[in-house]
A and B are shown apart, each in its own frame.
Chain A
Amino acid sequence: MKKLDIVIMAIMLIGAIWAAFLPNVKPHLHYLSAKELLYEINKNEHYISVDDVAKAIMTNDKFTILIDVRDPKQYQEFTLPGALNIPKDSILLPKYRYLLNSDIYRLVLFSNGTSLADMAWLIATDAGFKNLYVMQGGLNAWFTKILMPQPPKPWAKKEEFEKYQFRKAAAFYFTGGEVKETKPKQIKITVPVKKKEVGGGCE
């Protein structure tokens, strides 16, 4: 071995030993300022109706992902078809970061009413995640509007009747005429990871 060889190997070894004492490189969450958060809240564009959610399910929309933010027990008892379960308190866990950090999917959070989903939305939006929506009215609205739609009053506008027709179809779709239990499916979603602005590599 020549002297230069040993010098270079020594440099690498010292560098590596030094590195061994240093902390890990971690992907960090990009927290919003209070002003930015207020802006996002006031935009009020993050609500999605139960009709739109029903439509997404019925048309097999691959770009909408439903996320049940209640606890696992409630999720097991009943949830929307194809929904994943990320309890509100777990929404910032690293393992969900890929899913939430999406550029392509529309992530719809829902709970029984609206407040739990709203809380989850706030937490996640504050951490910098985008493309998050809340299903307005939650599962309560789902039951009353989609699964058991009420016919509009005779003097209601045309759109109300059209909406009612849609909801009747949806009700049939989701219950098949009888009351069917929607069991949460173990869906394995291969989520294409968030597209970074930096292009590169030999892909």
Chain B
Amino acid sequence: MGPLFPQGHITVCENLIIAYLIGIVFGAMLEAAGFTNTRKLVGVFYGYDMTVLKVFFTAALTGAIGLFLMHHYGIIDLTKVYYPKTYWLPTLIGGLIMALGFLAGGFCPGTSVCAATTGKIDGITFVIGVFIGIYFYSFTYELIFEKLRNSTAMGEVNVADWLGIKQGVFLLIMTVVAIASFIIGTYIQKKINQKQSKEDLEELGLN
């Protein structure tokens, strides 16, 4: 029964090799979906390319539904996996900062690495920027950020429990919301791109 590594069913080395293999799949899919192209990434916020929406929600919900079902049928024990702790304020503020970073930089840390290593110079610059940001944060941590980052701890909080609804029902609601957003998003994208030039759509692979 999973998870294998925390229960000692696989060794540290095996775990790292598996990490590498899973990373290959992740990286290949990100590149294949077009996320080394910064214009495709940012398109979700302007309506002309909703690929991010489709990939992201499909991935997150496939994972969530799959894990939930697997737990029920004894394939994995979800009480033994790493569960993130919720610190709502620093996460909220951090998220807003990341949003600004997304709009300015056109990437997120994972996609930027994919872009950087496939020749995109803006990706390389972005990656350098991330490192500078983390170095800056780490050296000013005790002075500026420590208090905020450790504030508003809520422990491990399951969003469905927190809302007071069954976890499976929550997943169903999110799936319906996601599918609705796919349909609406596709429609908006079509409408906005009616006035776009053919070459532009070629470049984004949207025609």
Interface residues of A (CB under 8 A from B): 1, 5, 8-9, 12-13, 15-28, 98, 190-193, 196-201, 203
Question: Known pairs A19-B171, A20-B171, A23-B72. 6 more at Cβ < 8 A?
Answer: A13-B176, A15-B62, A16-B168, A20-B172, A22-B72, A190-B153
- Which of A8, A12, A27, A199 has the most chain B CB within a 10 Å cutoff? A12
- What are the residues of chain B within 8 A of A28 when measuring CB–CB? 79
- Does B102 make an interface contact (CB < 8 A)? no
Q: Are A20 and B169 in contact (CB under 8 A)?
A: yes
Q: Which residue of chain B is the closest to A192 with respect to CB atoms?
A: B153
A200/B82 contact (C-beta < 8 A), A19-B171, A23-B72 known: yes
Kindly provide the distance from the CB of A98 to the nearest chain B CB, expressed in whole angstroms. Answer: 5
For B146-186 the 0/1 string (1 means CB < 8 A from A) is 00000001011010110000111101101110110011001
- What are the residues of chain A within 8 A of B171 when measuring CB–CB? 16, 19-20
- Does B33 make an interface contact (CB < 8 A)? no
Contact among A1, A191, A196 for B83, CB-based, below 8 A: A196
Contact among B155, B166, B178 for A24, CB-based, below 8 A: B166
Q: How large is the interface on B (under 10, 10 to 19, 20 to 34, 35 or more residues)?
A: 35 or more
- Does B9 make an interface contact (CB < 8 A)? no
Q: Are B65 and A19 in contact (CB under 8 A)?
A: yes
- Does B84 make an interface contact (CB < 8 A)? yes
- What are the residues of chain B within 8 A of A26 when measuring CB–CB? 79
Q: Are A12 and B61 in contact (CB under 8 A)?
A: yes
Can you give 19 contacting A-B residue pairs, CB < 8 Å? A1-B186, A12-B62, A12-B179, A13-B179, A16-B65, A16-B176, A17-B172, A22-B68, A22-B69, A22-B72, A23-B72, A23-B166, A24-B160, A25-B68, A25-B71, A191-B153, A193-B155, A193-B156, A196-B82
Kindly provide the distance from the CB of A47 to the nearest chain B CB, expressed in whole angstroms. Answer: 30
- What are the residues of chain B within 8 A of A20 when measuring CB–CB? 166, 168-169, 171-172
Q: Are A198 and B80 in contact (CB under 8 A)?
A: yes
What is the interface of chain B mostly: helix, strand, loop, or mixed? helix
Interface residues of B (CB under 8 A from A): 3, 5-6, 58, 61-62, 65-66, 68-69, 71-72, 78-85, 153, 155-156, 158, 160-161, 166-169, 171-172, 174-176, 178-179, 182-183, 186
- What are the residues of chain A within 8 A of B178 when measuring CB–CB? 12
Going nearest first, the 4 A-B pairs with the smallest beta carbon separation are A200-B82, A16-B175, A19-B168, A15-B65
Q: How far is the CA of A197 from the CA of B83 in the complex (A)?
A: 11
Contact among A1, A190, A198 for B6, CB-based, below 8 A: A198
- What are the residues of chain B within 8 A of A23 when measuring CB–CB? 72, 166, 168
Q: Which residue of chain B is the closest to A98 with respect to CB atoms?
A: B155
Q: How far is the CA of A200 from the CA of B81 in the complex (A)?
A: 9
Q: Which residue of chain B is the closest to A13 with respect to CB atoms?
A: B175
Q: Are B69 and A19 in contact (CB under 8 A)?
A: yes
Q: How far is the CA of A197 from the CA of B169 in the complex (A)?
A: 30
Q: Which residue of chain A is the closest to B85 with respect to CB atoms?
A: A193
Kindly provide the distance from the CB of A202 to the nearest chain B CB, expressed in whole angstroms. Answer: 9
Q: How far is the CA of A25 from the CA of B80 in the complex (A)?
A: 11
Kindly provide the distance from the CB of A31 to the nearest chain B CB, expressed in whole angstroms. Answer: 14
Q: How far is the CA of A23 from the CA of B166 in the complex (A)?
A: 7
Q: How far is the CA of A13 from the CA of B176 in the complex (A)?
A: 7
- What are the residues of chain B within 8 A of A18 when measuring CB–CB? 69
Kindly provide the distance from the CB of B159 to the nearest chain A CB, expressed in whole angstroms. Answer: 12
Q: How far is the CA of A24 from the CA of B179 in the complex (A)?
A: 23
- What are the residues of chain A within 8 A of B84 when measuring CB–CB? 201, 203
Q: Which residue of chain A is the closest to B151 with respect to CB atoms?
A: A190
